[in-house]
Amino acid sequence: MKKRLISVIPALAAILTLVSCSPAAPSSSASPAGQPSGSSQQPPAEQANYQPVTFHVMIRGTADTFGVPRTAEIQAKTVKDRWNIDLKYEMVDKNTYNEKVTAKFAAADFPSILYYGDAKVIQNAIDSKVFVPVTKAVMSPEYDNVDRQLYFIRWYQNGEYYGFNYHSGAPETINLRGDWLKNLNMEVPKNPEELKEVIAAMTNNDPDQNGKNDTYGLTMQGDLGMTGQFWSMFLPAPRIIPTKGAGLYIDSKDNTVKTILDDVPNMEKALAWFNSLYQEGILDPMYVTLKQQDVEAKFVSNQSGVWVKEIGGLPSRLAQIQNNVPDAEIVAMPPVETVSGVTNYDLVAFKSDCYFMTKDAPDVERGYELLKYLYGKEGIYAEAYGEEGVEYSLQGGAFQWLNEEARERSNPARVISSYLDLQLLDPIPVVENAFQAIQAMASWIRILPLTPQQQSPTTS
């Protein structure tokens, strides 16, 4: 399946570029859809006379989201052959990641490459020269067809790029159990009132038809920043994160920056909606204590029917549900237009989260090549599907899995969320559904203007 389904992302990106108020850096038209075969090959490491070096890469995640150890094995072999790099991953659970990074910084024990998103820590690391520029990697010809202003602008300072962004992002949607909707003879909701009706039915009417009162329509995380898609059905800004912007947005009526915390009438509507869920017993009362992984666990174990997740993460979660419920389905709720004419879904192309190379990297030049490989076309396909000829084949242009284990281990989210013009090799109905559901958001997409220190160069 060609990237027909995910063509909405370049379209949204184009709109983002148009609505951004900073001067646009030239961006070429999209390149032909990429496939893993036929990529340029670097000379073997021994031909280039590279001495062996070790790169320690610290990432956030778990083995089920990364495909370890097979992905690491493929990538490690490639970078060893090409640049004589011994690649060592340190994978840290997302719930303790920030603590681990803080400890490493305190001990001045820096990995070679670090994935991180705390803006204050990142800025301090740039100022203290712990993070080194990756401009040479960003400005390499491989990225001439990528809108650098859109995808690399977040950590562009003093004429240098410091953060290597690896994805364009995909909207986080409100997702529902489609099979439960069928059991309840209900349609996908289109507004807060209909969503509440669905949540009530999924709580009270035995949606899984097991004869037990053991489900909640909605289980959510007790974190305002992780429930923004619900709040934004009523409010004009995408998220409520008091420590990271206080729900700031630009009021197009008078072109001023405001915070949703001062929007008392609409805040009252949002609070009343949430309060009604709680009072009627259709919101899991444990939500105030739940963490992100708890909410996910309840959704994939048939304890709740509504969950917010980025589109790229849906296939793997659906597969987990289908281990116990083969006919399970996940459907996305269409975007809800808010009071200010935007949607409750948002697409942020230049997030703080990037890969950073530290001063402890053993060879900066090879570090550039490592970044481009790991988070470029080849590395992404290795993580998404494995190795061509081992996990899958593309004979005659037709994709075919070579073993079932590889199919189960696949991670197509990496292809879906890439800003590169790649294609999904294996059809994914749940992704098709989600992108169809958000087609309408293209005309409502919003993004905050760039601040002066984030201005990108005007030439590629």
What is the pLDDT at residue 313?
A: 81
* Domain boundaries along the sequence of the chain: 5-169+349-430+449-454, 172-332
60/68 Cα distance (integer angstroms): 13
Q: Give the mean pLDDT per block of 10 residues along the chain (460 residues).
A: 37 36 34 44 62 93 60 91 94 87 94 92 94 96 85 89 82 91 96 97 97 94 75 70 52 72 85 95 91 91 93 85 94 82 66 87 97 92 90 89 84 79 80 69 38 35
In SS3 terms, 74-138 reads as HHHHHHHHHHCEEEEEEEECCCCHHHHHHHHHHCCCCCCEEEECCHHHHHHHHHCCCEECCHHHH
What is the reported pLDDT for 71? 84
Within this chain, domains 5-169+349-430+449-454 and 172-332 share the same CATH topology = yes
Handedness of CA 401, 407, 409, 415 (dihedral sign): positive
Given this model, what pLDDT does residue 350 score? 52
Q: What is the structure's pLDDT at 267?
A: 86
**What is the CATH T-level fold of the domain 5-169+349-430+449-454, as seen in this structure?**
D-Maltodextrin-Binding Protein; domain 2 (3.40.190)
Go through the chain and tell me how many residues it has. Answer: 460
DSSP category for residue 225:
G
Judged by DSSP in three states, 161 sits in strand
Nearest to 181 by CA among 201, 164, 159, 155: 201
In this prediction the pTM is 0.66
The CATH code of domain 172-332 reads 3.40.190.10
Q: By the 8 A CB rule, do 334 and 229 touch? A: no
Does the bond joining 171 to the residue before it have cis omega, within 30 degrees of 0?
A: no
The phi-psi region of residue 226 (left if phi > 0; otherwise alpha if psi is between -120 and 50; otherwise beta) is: alpha
Distance CA 231, CA 208 (A): 27
Residue with structure tokens 């230049």? Answer: 350
